[in-house]
């Protein structure tokens, strides 16, 4: 299977992500275009979306999977990112390493298990290596079993576990993957990437 991936510029991408997040009824906290713009402006980032045919209308392509990654600097001042960096200190090396944060992503239910997320993740890795990043970090929760399984398959290692005393299912899991130029040769997905306007 060949995956079709669209790479979006900031403003259009923020609107597209807001739109696709509306299909994720399982997560109550959806990101708005305004939030996405505020987070990504003035930092290196990548907005990717995979498109695939509708099951009952194979001639129509629809967005089915998405991913936003962005740079994470040691001196972040925005409160959420400042907090994230503080929690990662001692577990991730920020010194002399460029860190990429895998912020949000997912695949619409009907298209899961078809490799779209792997294709987006591999495209991210290629871009990140070409852009000079050294590692990707990601945060999830114990109860996001699908995401934990996917991250394991994509060879992310757990670097920190933060227990939630009230409910262990809500405990936070931080994972990371070192980026090395050679890893691109091990990528499994065949991808066509087009630039959206
Ligand atoms: C996690 C998620 C993104 C995976 O998307 P997907 O498009 O189905 O993933 P892929 O088909 O590309 O699978 C990637 C790899 O993970 C594995 N994988 C994915 N979901 C899995 C599951 N539920 N159980 C076991 N393995 C799984 C696949 O087998 C595949 O491995 P392989 O390529 O080595 O064969 C999707 O299930 C999702 O959007 N879930 C909800 C999002 C979420 O949990 N968000 C929480 C906030 S972090």
- Residue of minimum CA distance from atom 32 in ligand 1: 153
Q: Is 115 in the pocket of ligand 1 (CB under 6 A)?
A: yes
> How close is the Cα of 94 to the center of ligand 1, in Å?
28
Task: Check residue 22 and give its pLDDT.
Answer: 84
- Residue of minimum CA distance from atom 31 in ligand 1: 153
Helix (H) or strand (E) holding 15: helix 10-21
CA-CA distance, 34 to 85, in Å (whole number)?
23
- Residue of minimum CA distance from atom 43 in ligand 1: 147
Q: Is 106 in the pocket of ligand 1 (CB under 6 A)?
A: yes
Q: Is 113 in the pocket of ligand 1 (CB under 6 A)?
A: yes
Give the dihedral sign, CA 162/141/4/22.
Answer: negative
Average confidence score pLDDT of the chain: 96
Task: Check residue 121 and give its pLDDT.
Answer: 98
Confidence of residue 168 (pLDDT cuts 50, 70, 90): very high
CA-CA distance, 10 to 144, in Å (whole number)?
28
Q: What is the DSSP letter of 197?
A: -
What pTM did the predictor assign?
Answer: 0.97
Confidence of residue 192 (pLDDT cuts 50, 70, 90): very high
pLDDT digits (tens, 9 = 90+) for 2-40: 999 999 999 999 999 999 988 776 777 789 999 999 999
> How close is the Cα of 117 to the center of ligand 1, in Å?
7
Q: Which CATH class is domain 2-195?
A: alpha beta
Give the dihedral sign, CA 80/170/109/124.
Answer: positive
Determine how β-strand 135-141 pairs with β-strand 157-162. unpaired
pLDDT digits (tens, 9 = 90+) for 121-149: 999 999 999 999 999 999 999 999 999 99
Going from N- to C-terminal start, the domains of the chain cover 2-195
CA-CA distance, 106 to 112, in Å (whole number)?
9
> How close is the Cα of 102 to the center of ligand 1, in Å?
15
Q: What is the DSSP letter of 151?
A: H
pLDDT digits (tens, 9 = 90+) for 71-109: 999 999 999 999 999 999 999 999 889 999 999 999 999
């Amino acid at each position: 299977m060949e995956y079709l991936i669209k790479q979006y510029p900031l403003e259009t991408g923020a609107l597209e992500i807001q739109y696709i997040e509306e299909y994720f009824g399982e997560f109550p906290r959806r990101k708005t275009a305004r939030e996405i713009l505020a987070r990504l402006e003035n930092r290196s980032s990548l907005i990717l979306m995979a498109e695939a045919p509708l099951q009952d209308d194979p001639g129509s392509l629809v967005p089915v999977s998405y991913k936003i990654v962005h740079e994470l600097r040691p001196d972040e001042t925005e409160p959420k990112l400042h907090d994230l960096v503080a929690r990662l200190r001692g577990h991730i090396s920020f010194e002399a390493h460029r860190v990429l944060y895998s912020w949000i992503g997912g695949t619409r239910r009907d298209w899961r298990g078809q490799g779209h997320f792997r294709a987006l993740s591999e495209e991210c890795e290629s871009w990140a290596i070409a852009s000079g990043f050294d590692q990707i970090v990601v945060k999830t929760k114990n109860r996001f079993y699908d995401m934990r399984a996917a991250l394991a398959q994509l060879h992310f290692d757990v670097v920190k576990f933060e227990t939630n005393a009230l409910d262990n299912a809500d405990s936070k899991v931080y994972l990371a993957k070192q980026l090395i130029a050679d890893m691109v040769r091990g990528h499994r997905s065949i991808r066509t990437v087009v630039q959206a306007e």
